[in-house]
Amino acid sequence: MSKSSLPRPRILMVYTGGTIGMQENPVTHALAPVDFHHLIDSVPKLKMLDFEIGSFQFERPIDSSAMTPGHWAEIAKVIEDNYESYDGFVVLHGTDTMAYTSSALSFMLENLDKPVIITGSQLPIGEVRTDGEENLITALQIAAARDASGQHMVREVAILFENYLWRGNRSTKRSADNFNAFKSNNYPELAKIGLGITYNREALWRGRNPGAPLKVHYNMDCNVLYMDLFPGIKEEVVKHMLATPGIKGVVLKTFGAGNGPTDPWFFEAIRKTVEKGIVVVNITQCTNGSVHPFRYQTGMELAQCGVVSGHDLTSEAAITKLMHLLGRGMSADEVKNYMELSLCGEISS
Ligand code: ASP
């Protein structure tokens, strides 16, 4: 189908809460989420878009710091139920956990070949200097965008914020104050937003199985934890964390190219954890770059203990990928294998 013969774009907006839809409480002056219709009424310009816009809102919109895998499943279900009827999806979401949600959804929505654009704002949409209005309108335009052959321009979960479109599972919230609140430290932008929207076509995800039906994986296993290393971390603390009952996966946040303390007790604790069938994934604390397990002796010893390299995964993508793979009921060996492979563009190969 050529671009000009296409019908009006049909976009579904999913409102979960976040600052974009918040209002100040007149007594406490704290921001709290309000109803979706208030949000829509605040953007009369939406009527200028020649789109058919449907909407769904969480029964109780939330501050995204209250986000849970149950909420991710709710968003995924709305997308699955409406997948055939809409061209694209715009999810309005708080910024605090947006990078977790965008990473989680990228794994949950297997074979996604339509745009799922997540956005929000730093200032509520009702405020004079809000960034919410522009973010919302640009997100809708991206969700409706087609290439010259009439195909969806974006076929993945992405975050639109201020001047950039980022891959969802490569994004991190980098600022609590700046309008450009997100960044992808290990992957280029999918689009730059200026006077126009300029897509970085080489960077856009093109699925492994074009035409394959959407398959949604709802189950996320929360028996995971982060262990963030620092010089002086105590043996008792490490052993206590690794002995957490029911734990199945650990994201180990290491120094530099994947290094940690060189004390024998540390390697011993990690080795015993791996032997128990717990998956330990090594990611770097650096904002940019990758784990190189064989560059230094200490990283190599971790690898010899059975720790798997998370390469250049963000910390949000590492934990949600682990939750996703464990949630699919895979064995520890299968999880280890998939952690090293790119499922939907989350790792540089
Ligand atoms: N606390 C808010 C939230 O994540 C922050 C925001 O939306 O920017 O819901």
Quote the CA–CA distance of 307 and 301 in Å, as a whole number.
Answer: 9
Residue 348 lies in a domain: no
Instruction: Decide: 103 and 132 in contact? Cβ < 8 Å.
Output: no
Return the axis-axis angle of helices 264-275 and 235-242, rounded to nearest 10°.
0
Report the pLDDT value the prediction gives residue 5, as an integer from 0 to 100. 66
298 has pLDDT over 90: no
If asked whether residues 53 and 154 sit together in one domain, one would say: yes
Best residue among 16, 96, 182 to mutate for probing ligand 1's pocket (most ligand atoms within 8 Å of CB) is 96
DSSP 146: B
If asked whether residues 37 and 18 sit together in one domain, one would say: yes
If asked whether residues 205 and 106 sit together in one domain, one would say: yes
Residue 189 lies in a domain: yes
Ligand 1 centroid, distance to 41 Cα (angstroms): 20
Shortest-distance atom of ligand 1 to CA 18 = 9
68 has pLDDT over 90: yes
Shortest-distance atom of ligand 1 to CA 63 = 9
Residue 347 lies in a domain: no
Q: Does the beta carbon of 254 lie inside 6 Å of ligand 1?
A: no
* CATH number of the structural domain spanning residue 318: 3.40.50.40
If asked whether residues 200 and 257 sit together in one domain, one would say: no
If asked whether residues 19 and 160 sit together in one domain, one would say: yes
Q: Catalytic: 298?
A: no
Count up the domains in the chain and report the number.
2
If asked whether residues 333 and 235 sit together in one domain, one would say: yes
- Pull the structure tokens for residue 343: 């499922």
Summarised one tens digit per residue, pLDDT across range 279-289 is 999 999 999 99
Q: Considering the candidates 16, 19, 97, 172, report the single residue annotated as catalytic.
A: 19
If asked whether residues 118 and 247 sit together in one domain, one would say: no
> In a 3-state reduction of DSSP, which class is residue 289?
coil
Domain C-terminal end among 182, 216, 250: 216
Summarised one tens digit per residue, pLDDT across range 156-197 is 999 999 999 999 999 999 999 888 999 999 999 999 999 999
Per-residue pLDDT band for 207 (boundaries 50, 70, 90) equals confident
Instruction: Decide: 81 and 109 in contact? Cβ < 8 Å.
Output: no
DSSP letter string, 103-121: HHHHHHEET--S-EEEE--
Residue 108 lies in a domain: yes
Residue 191 lies in a domain: yes
If asked whether residues 61 and 103 sit together in one domain, one would say: yes
* CATH number of the structural domain spanning residue 186: 3.40.50.1170
Residue type, 194: G
If asked whether residues 113 and 176 sit together in one domain, one would say: yes
Domain C-terminal end among 216, 246, 264: 216
Helix (H), strand (E) at residue 300? helix 297-304
Residue 307 lies in a domain: yes
Residue having the nearest C-alpha atom to atom 8 of ligand 1? 95
Residue 344 lies in a domain: no
48-62, 214-228, 251-265, 333-347: which range is least confident on average?
48-62
Quote the CA–CA distance of 244 and 225 in Å, as a whole number.
Answer: 9
Q: List the beta bridge partners of residue 14.
A: 56, 91
Give the C-alpha distances (Å, rounded to integers) separating 184 from 20, 288, 323, 336.
Answer: 22, 9, 21, 24
If asked whether residues 11 and 159 sit together in one domain, one would say: yes
3 has pLDDT over 70: no
Domain boundaries, position 276: 224-339
Q: What is the mean pLDDT of the chain?
A: 93
If asked whether residues 230 and 212 sit together in one domain, one would say: no
Instruction: Kindly state the percentage of the chain with pLDDT values over 70.
Output: 99
DSSP 149: T
Residue 277 lies in a domain: yes
2 has pLDDT over 60: no
If asked whether residues 58 and 205 sit together in one domain, one would say: yes
Strands 157-161 and 116-119: parallel
Residue having the nearest C-alpha atom to atom 1 of ligand 1? 63
> In a 3-state reduction of DSSP, which class is residue 228?
strand
Strands of the sheet with 308-309, listed across from one edge:
224-228, 249-254, 279-284, 308-309
Domain C-terminal end among 178, 197, 216: 216
DSSP 255: B
